[in-house]
Amino acid sequence: MKIFLTLGKGLTALFWGAVLANLLQPFAQPFALLLNGAGAFILLIHALELWFFNARIAACPKPAQERVHVMLFGIFQLLGLPAEQVAVATVAEPQEALQMEAENA
């Protein structure tokens, strides 16, 4: 899994490098327009990921740094984050209640 995440982050970094190079010195048309459109779309997707996973990112020790990484690498950064503790606690509570009822019966 770690190899997959590292490869994904590397390819994403190459993509952002191509977008930046296109902004500095535009490629031939229609490639420049397509690359700018793809860059804007990916940036929008990464912003939505920030919005959807805000609680998970806020639980990290350095949330500002994680937000920058999510804007650059997207889901590849999110998959590397530890699981959210709140979700584990809410799943465990019903099971504990069932065990307590079984012990009392």
Nearest C-alpha neighbor of 52 from the set 76, 73, 78 = 78
Domain extent at residue 54: 2-104
**pLDDT at residue 87 greater than cutoff 80:** no
Q: Please give the distance of CA 14 from its chain centroid, rounded to a whole number.
A: 17
What's the rounded Cα separation, in Å, for the pair 70 and 93?
31
Query: Lowest-pLDDT range, 19-33, 62-76, 77-91?
Result: 77-91
Average pLDDT for 91-98: 57
- Token pair recorded at residue 32: 């420049």
Q: What is the pTM of this model?
A: 0.69
- Number of structural domains (the chain) is 1
The residue among 23 and 105 whose pLDDT is bigger is 23
